[in-house]
Structure 1
Amino acid sequence: MALERAERILTQNTRTDEANLEGLGLTTIAPLLPLFAQMTRLRRLRLSRNALTSLPEDLSALRNLESLDLTGNPIAGLSSILSGLQCIPNLKHLNVDLPFESEEDEVIVTLSSLESFNGTSLTDADDDAPPASNATQTRSAIPQAWVNDAKPSQTHTTSVSAKTRWEESDTVQIQRLHQAVSSLSGRPVSKQEFDDYTRSVVGHLHSIVASEEDPLRREAEIYKSKKILFEYCFEEAVRAAQRADPALGQVLSLVQDSYSGLLNNYDRLVKNIVETKEKKIEAMRIDLQGAIQEIEGLMQQLEAKGAQGGDTASSARYDGERRKFTEEIGWLRTENEKLQTRIRQLELSRQGAPSASPSAGARALSAGTFGAQSTDRTGQSPARHAPPALGSKVLTLRQLRDTVEDIYASKSKYDIKCAETHLPRETMEQHMYTYLNQRYGLKHIILEWATAIIQGIKKFSAEDNDVAVFGKILRNEVDEEFRFVQRQLKETVHELLRVYVKGKKPLKGDEEIQQMVRKKVNGNILEEEWVDIVKYMYNNEDAVTIIMRIRDILKHQAQPRRTRRTAVPTTRSQAAKEEEPVLLSYNEFIRILLDFQLEGHERFLSRFVRVFKQHDTDRNGIVNEQEFRAILRSVDPAKSEEDVSALLDLIDPNNNQLINFSECVTFLSAELVKMMREEGV
């Protein structure tokens, strides 16, 4: 029974770097070695509080292991475990209860790779620290490994480099601290609840750190997140103390409030310093802009005088002054750009702590007004609220299109940063709020803009394909990369029109051809032109469909004009005018092609969208490894476990467990084509 439970735990995630097999009643781990051999990323193994008396002599399956916890096991003696431990070349941290104290020295001497033993550091950095007593460790209610992991990092005592990203060791530290506190309190606290809370805090931290260029500000955000999680654990410790000694619990509660208030006051002080600097920089920026405008005005005056002519001396003086002003403007523009960059960084620094994320309420609003329930980056749905009273901002189509393009551009840059920092990509919906947060900062403005964008999508989707595509990307109905397909289509049509015009007017120069193309793009195109383009771009079946669709539209547009005709035309010119064909505007032609392309892509993805939403139970457009495996089994049941693992290594190389819809479509393109062919779509 114990081995079966252990096997289930290990097979749930063979790509993890930590395995917890504590308290299962294991008497041997030999049957588990084949599973350990498959877990090439395993770095930490916890086997405490089992019934192990020895270890297998060959533990080379755990060759990448760095930390091993064997405390609380009735180990018979050093000889029963030493051979196996010597097969783990990377072992750095070992915790084990041995029957004789003399055997501990032999462990330290034999295993030269160890950096800590039973919580005592063996490196030079902690030579002054007193060694821990083995008897004390055995009696302690908290395993020493937890205490050791909960110690604050001392990296900054010897280095000035900033900690710029949240690491796995930080998560492990928090989890072990919470486990230690929970073991003291005896209160049944849901580990899943705490893990979800941790993921929520860390997920929001990732979104802030990825957009922050200043490494010191990144480190500050990391410490803020740690503070929030430490406070969660401290509150649990206070509750445990209150049950044992109410007076002690009250004192600890006061200590917690004092420290929390002190840190909050320090954070406000730093923000006030930043705001003061920002005001000074803004004043300097205004002065620089004024100077630039003044110098440009003087240059215009000089140019006007130069244009009027004059003697050679005046011309030379004019040229000298003009060069001097040009150089000065160049310097001022450079300084202005530097100040603008600094201002943007200061605006980013206004981001609050993760617990005060403005996107949570915005996403709750989106859930109620746009469709599927929105969620945060970690896959956890934010609490629902009644929508706050928002402004009546209404976006025109032009404003909405510009905003969508800005979001696209921001998303592309953000994806690059996420790839560089090994963070998971955001969905387009998540990034919309990230973009608004970075641009406006204030929660009520973010909500107002989000509402305006969503209402604009509802209003203009039927008449503008770009808006329709953006809305479908937000709802995870088409993948993000499809917008590049639509962009390429527009460029291809424009180029084909240029080639067509050039073919009809071979004697015209390039500039004249460009003018003619520009006139058509801003106006109408002839039937022979759009028919030729359609036949060139599409196969016969699709070309016939598009041509018939365009002619139906033109027929519909011509209908009102026919109803206005009189019984008998009064003049021959009027009759000829009425017989003129209805021209097709270039913009309408592009919209028809884009709509046709979108409809085809939606048909292509239709089954996969249903499969994805079936497994994406929280409707946030993100799945974990287990959900991805289930999706892949539905799409291609013939896939072997090796093929699935290989795909996972490609789509989620950093094991973030956050795989979004667009990534699935991109990496499963071959499987989706195969599925489409089988269905005859």
Structure 2
Amino acid sequence: MEESLISTSDLEPISNNYEQIKALFKKKHPEAEAVLAQAFEKTVSQIIHELNAKKNTSDNLRAEISQAKCKLWGMCGEKICAYIKTIDAGASKVLLEILNQQQKILKENSGSNEAMQALEEELTKTKQEMDQILIAAETLENTARSLREENAKLKDRVNGTPEDLEAQMQQLQEENEKYLQKIISLSKEKAESCLSKETSGGSYATPKATREKTRENKKSISRTNSGSTIKDLTLKQLKEFIEEIYTSKEKFDQKCIETHQAKETMEEYMYSYLNQKYGLKSLIQDWISAIVKAVEKYEPEDPDVLLFAKILRHQIEENYRKVFQEVRKTSLQLLKIHLKNKFPYMQEKAVKELLNTKTEGELEEEEWKSIVTYMYNQADSEYLQSLLTEHAERNLTRASKIQGKTTLSYTNFVNLLLEFQVTGHDQLLEPFREKFLMIDTDNQGILITKQFSELLAVLDILEENERLIKFVDPFDTGKITFSDCVSTLLSHQMEYKGNFVSIIYKLYSEKH
């Protein structure tokens, strides 16, 4: 017999009842016992087989089980009717009619229950679809709003007066003439530079050659004072330059490793990069001045510029920008997870659209609190939530005030996290920088091997001198940058108050 979906506790009363019916038959018709036993086994086996067949196809297995139990009890009813018929045919007929009517009513109720369940499922499905439609509508509304704003801006530009357009054209012509004259006046110098490259046997400059030429240009630039007006870079232009120089320096550092040459600081490499890009001292000077001016202007308001400024000044190591990348990546991932948990039935495409809307617009309080809670420990999380709430309330839009919501733009949210990161790391490195500047007195961000040993002595870890020098300067170049010092000493663990921490963390803990 197949494994039954009907529990033993349900089958036992049926079996006991059937045994009593068999006992009644046995008194008057002993020969009927074997027939009744065989009929019981066959009927039970058939009903269980039918029920198992419906196990994977039925939409309402519970109702199927109930019907199966009704059939088994109905079998008992039919047999007792058969027994009563041997005594009183009329009574048997009445009882059989009662049983048939009960079966009919049970079937009707079963159908009604199935209909109710189907209706409930349909309502649930409809509710889920409505939720998705509402989210999609909100997304479309935000998109439409953005398009309307962009359209208004375009109209303003198109509706500018002819006088304004003429003035802009005149300004552009003057700038073009100015740069044309500069190019003509410097063409000879550029030609000589190109000839010198050809004479040297190739267009690619090695790190060493680039470094020497950069030093010459840097000295020359420092003596040059053109007196010209420093150009103004927009924040976008500055950040594009920063990203370009990061990418270029990564390749340059890799080349230094391959050729076993010393790396440069970011400050040094900026001159190298501009020298390779422009080649003309006057243009390099213009760009250096413009970059310095833009960095000073934008570092108070943009964390990426702030980090670049601190790297240039040898205050934070270059690799820390990878932390920025990780913060951005993690924030986005956590926001997506939050949205998926909030709308579990939303399709992936709709989730992506909603995610884009959020990253280009506003986060609700529950959203940015969820991200911060997962990203940081309790103390940092509480501090950041307080900081973010204060910022959000200070910059509430009129619409948010009306709706009673505390929202925060995603861009501002991420920038506040990055600012928190760079500020905290800057504070962590401060005690170490003080020790470093005791050796690097001219603040060039570079130590020679002897000076690095002196630094280790100041840090009271001179016994690690040989091992750390091999780690920080594996090719024995004799030149060690501030960034390499920090990266090496952050990875060097030592025991402090029962824990293993870096010497940099130890210095910070002792000071605070």
- Alignment TM-score > 0.5, same fold: yes
The aligned residue for residue 448 of structure 2 is 624
For structure 1, list consecutive stretches of 5 or more residues without a partner in the other structure. 1-266, 276-344, 366-383, 562-573
Structure 1 residues 615 and 511: CA distance shift in structure 2, 3 A: same
Structure 1 residues 457 and 360: CA distance shift in structure 2, 3 A: farther
Partner of 1:481: helix, strand, or coil?
A: helix
The aligned residue for residue 612 of structure 1 is 436
Structure 1 residues 488 and 414: CA distance shift in structure 2, 3 A: same
Q: How does 1:306-385 map to 2 (within 5 A)?
A: 346=203, 348=204, 357=213, 360=216, 362=218, 385=223
Deviation at residue 632 of structure 1 after TM alignment: 1.2
Partners of 1:395 and 1:445 in 2: CA distance: 15
**Alignment counterpart, residue 668 of structure 1, candidates 489, 508, 512:** 489
State whether structure 2 residue 364 is matched by structure 1 residue 540.
Answer: no
Deviation at residue 390 of structure 1 after TM alignment: 3.9
For structure 2, list consecutive stretches of 5 or more residues without a partner in the other structure. 1-190, 494-501
Deviation at residue 555 of structure 1 after TM alignment: 2.5
Contact 2:340 2:346 survives alignment (8 Å)? yes
The aligned residue for residue 271 of structure 1 is 195
Contact 2:428 2:505 survives alignment (8 Å)? no
**Alignment counterpart, residue 550 of structure 1, candidates 349, 370, 388:** 388
The aligned residue for residue 306 of structure 2 is 468
Contact 1:497 1:529 survives alignment (8 Å)? yes
Q: In terms of Rg, which structure is larger?
A: 2
Any idea what the Cα deviations from partners look like across 1:119-151, whole Å, max 9, x if unmatched?
xxxxxxxxxxxxxxxxxxxxxxxxxxxxxxxxx
Contact 1:426 1:660 survives alignment (8 Å)? yes
Deviation at residue 673 of structure 1 after TM alignment: 4.4
Q: How does 1:222-237 map to 2 (within 5 A)?
A: none
Contact 1:554 1:582 survives alignment (8 Å)? yes
Partners of 2:351 and 2:303 in 1: CA distance: 28
Partners of 1:434 and 1:616 in 2: CA distance: 22
Q: How does 1:444-483 map to 2 (within 5 A)?
A: 444-483=282-321
Deviation at residue 657 of structure 1 after TM alignment: 1.4
Structure 1 residues 420 and 455: CA distance shift in structure 2, 3 A: same
Contact 2:207 2:261 survives alignment (8 Å)? no
Partners of 1:601 and 1:351 in 2: CA distance: 30
Partners of 2:304 and 2:419 in 1: CA distance: 10
**Alignment counterpart, residue 594 of structure 1, candidates 410, 418, 421:** 418
Deviation at residue 595 of structure 1 after TM alignment: 0.6
Contact 2:362 2:407 survives alignment (8 Å)? yes
Partners of 1:404 and 1:269 in 2: CA distance: 26
Contact 1:361 1:385 survives alignment (8 Å)? no
Partners of 1:607 and 1:466 in 2: CA distance: 23
Partner of 1:668: helix, strand, or coil?
A: helix
Deviation at residue 598 of structure 1 after TM alignment: 0.8
Partner of 1:618: helix, strand, or coil?
A: coil
Deviation at residue 651 of structure 1 after TM alignment: 1.1
Contact 2:431 2:511 survives alignment (8 Å)? no
Contact 1:476 1:661 survives alignment (8 Å)? yes
Q: How does 1:233-252 map to 2 (within 5 A)?
A: none
Partner of 2:223: helix, strand, or coil?
A: coil
Contact 2:439 2:451 survives alignment (8 Å)? yes
Structure 1 residues 597 and 446: CA distance shift in structure 2, 3 A: same
The aligned residue for residue 510 of structure 2 is 679
Contact 2:388 2:416 survives alignment (8 Å)? yes
State whether structure 2 residue 366 is matched by structure 1 residue 525.
Answer: no
**Alignment counterpart, residue 397 of structure 1, candidates 230, 235, 239:** 235
Partners of 2:197 and 2:245 in 1: CA distance: 31
**Alignment counterpart, residue 504 of structure 1, candidates 342, 367, 388:** 342
State whether structure 2 residue 281 is matched by structure 1 residue 443.
Answer: yes
The aligned residue for residue 111 of structure 1 is none
State whether structure 2 residue 408 is matched by structure 1 residue 584.
Answer: yes
Partners of 2:314 and 2:410 in 1: CA distance: 30
Any idea what the Cα deviations from partners look like across 1:321-376, whole Å, max 9, x if unmatched?
xxxxxxxxxxxxxxxxxxxxxxxx74x579998899465454686xxxxxxxxxxx
Partners of 2:448 and 2:197 in 1: CA distance: 41
Partners of 2:481 and 2:361 in 1: CA distance: 41
Structure 1 residues 387 and 532: CA distance shift in structure 2, 3 A: same
Contact 1:359 1:437 survives alignment (8 Å)? no
Partners of 1:549 and 1:599 in 2: CA distance: 14
Deviation at residue 445 of structure 1 after TM alignment: 0.8
Which letter maps to 1:608? F
Structure 1 residues 463 and 549: CA distance shift in structure 2, 3 A: same
Any idea what the Cα deviations from partners look like across 1:400-447, whole Å, max 9, x if unmatched?
001000000000000000000000011011111111111111111111
Partners of 2:265 and 2:342 in 1: CA distance: 46
Partner of 1:478: helix, strand, or coil?
A: coil
Which letter maps to 1:271? L
Structure 1 residues 433 and 611: CA distance shift in structure 2, 3 A: same
Partners of 2:208 and 2:254 in 1: CA distance: 24
Which stretches of structure 1, 4 residues or longer, exceed 6 Å deviation after superposition? 267-270, 349-356
Partners of 2:219 and 2:315 in 1: CA distance: 18
Partner of 1:602: helix, strand, or coil?
A: helix
Partner of 1:507: helix, strand, or coil?
A: coil
Partners of 2:212 and 2:302 in 1: CA distance: 36
The aligned residue for residue 353 of structure 2 is 515
Contact 1:390 1:444 survives alignment (8 Å)? no
Structure 1 residues 461 and 664: CA distance shift in structure 2, 3 A: same
The aligned residue for residue 475 of structure 2 is 654
Any idea what the Cα deviations from partners look like across 1:269-298, whole Å, max 9, x if unmatched?
9928959xxxxxxxxxxxxxxxxxxxxxxx
Which letter maps to 1:507? Y
Structure 1 residues 482 and 577: CA distance shift in structure 2, 3 A: closer
Partners of 1:626 and 1:352 in 2: CA distance: 21
Partners of 1:610 and 1:536 in 2: CA distance: 34
Write 1 or 2 for the structure with the bigger share of helix.
Answer: 2
Structure 1 residues 590 and 352: CA distance shift in structure 2, 3 A: closer
Any idea what the Cα deviations from partners look like across 1:367-395, whole Å, max 9, x if unmatched?
xxxxxxxxxxxxxxxxx525333453211
Structure 1 residues 410 and 518: CA distance shift in structure 2, 3 A: same
Q: How does 1:5-84 map to 2 (within 5 A)?
A: none
Any idea what the Cα deviations from partners look like across 1:637-675, whole Å, max 9, x if unmatched?
1441xx211111111122221100000001111343452
Partners of 2:470 and 2:346 in 1: CA distance: 55
Which letter maps to 1:672? I
Structure 1 residues 448 and 270: CA distance shift in structure 2, 3 A: closer
**TM-score computed with the length of structure 1 as normaliser:** 0.43
Percent identity among equivalent residues? 33
Partners of 2:474 and 2:316 in 1: CA distance: 24
Deviation at residue 627 of structure 1 after TM alignment: 1.1
Partners of 1:392 and 1:557 in 2: CA distance: 34
Contact 1:523 1:585 survives alignment (8 Å)? yes
Any idea what the Cα deviations from partners look like across 1:451-485, whole Å, max 9, x if unmatched?
11111100111111101100100000000010011
Partners of 2:267 and 2:421 in 1: CA distance: 23
Which letter maps to 1:402? E
Any idea what the Cα deviations from partners look like across 1:530-584, whole Å, max 9, x if unmatched?
00110111111111100111111123224x96xxxxxxxxxxxx9x963532420
Any idea what the Cα deviations from partners look like across 1:488-539, whole Å, max 9, x if unmatched?
1100001111111111122222222111101100000110000011011111
Partners of 2:413 and 2:510 in 1: CA distance: 31
Which letter maps to 1:467? V
Contact 1:489 1:594 survives alignment (8 Å)? yes
Over aligned residue pairs, what C-alpha RMSD do you find? 3.1
Structure 1 residues 364 and 679: CA distance shift in structure 2, 3 A: farther
The aligned residue for residue 67 of structure 1 is none
Any idea what the Cα deviations from partners look like across 1:181-218, whole Å, max 9, x if unmatched?
xxxxxxxxxxxxxxxxxxxxxxxxxxxxxxxxxxxxxx
